[in-house]
């Protein structure tokens, strides 16, 4: 009888520790992608909203690229469950539970 109780207790402890490890591994932080603090863009908008990581000249009009000071990162539901509502951190949509996708908005100045 003692052997059976010991085996059941050991099995239960193993099950609980495995479940706790699975929960912990799901909530581990994801590797964050490097988001540059500044980007450069043609002031004449020759290429639309295209940005570059380094300063230089526009390949179309050869003007000096202007610095876009701030890149705000927002996350939105890909299904647009809540319209254009955005979040500051990634996660899951509260309506459909899909992963939020990254949507960048550029702010000058």
Q: Quote the pLDDT of residue 8.
A: 85
User: Average pLDDT of 26-54?
Assistant: 71
Q: What is the CA radius of gyration of the chain?
A: 25
Going by pLDDT thresholds of 50, 70 and 90, the confidence category of residue 84 is: confident
Going by pLDDT thresholds of 50, 70 and 90, the confidence category of residue 89 is: confident
pLDDT tens digits along 12-25? 887 777 666 665 55
pLDDT for 26 beyond 60: no
pTM of the model: 0.36
Compute the mean pLDDT over every residue in the chain, rounded to the nearest whole number. 78
Closest Cα to residue 100, out of 77, 71, 80? 77
Phi, psi of 54 (to 5 degrees): -120, 155
Query: Within 10 Å of residue 87's Cβ, how many Cβ atoms?
Result: 16
Phi, psi of 5 (to 5 degrees): -60, -45
Q: Are 74 and 51 in contact (CB under 8 A)?
A: no
The secondary structure of residue 82, as a DSSP letter, is: T
pLDDT for 109 beyond 50: no
pLDDT tens digits along 93-105? 999 999 999 886 6
Q: Where are the domains of the chain?
A: 35-68, 71-109
| Cα 56 to Cα 8: distance, rounded to the nearest angstrom | 69
State both tokens at 51: 């940005």
Going by pLDDT thresholds of 50, 70 and 90, the confidence category of residue 52 is: confident
């Amino acid at each position: 009888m003692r052997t059976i109780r010991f085996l059941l207790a050991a099995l239960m402890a193993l099950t609980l520790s495995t479940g706790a490890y699975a929960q912990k591994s799901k909530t581990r932080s994801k590797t964050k992608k490097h988001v540059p603090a500044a980007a450069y863009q043609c002031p004449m908008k020759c290429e639309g909203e295209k940005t570059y990581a380094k300063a230089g000249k526009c390949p179309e009009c050869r003007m000096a690229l202007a610095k876009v000071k701030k890149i705000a990162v927002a996350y939105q539901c890909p299904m647009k469950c809540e319209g254009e509502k955005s979040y500051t951190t990634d996660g899951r949509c509260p309506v459909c539970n899909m992963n939020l996708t990254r949507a960048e908005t550029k702010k000058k100045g």
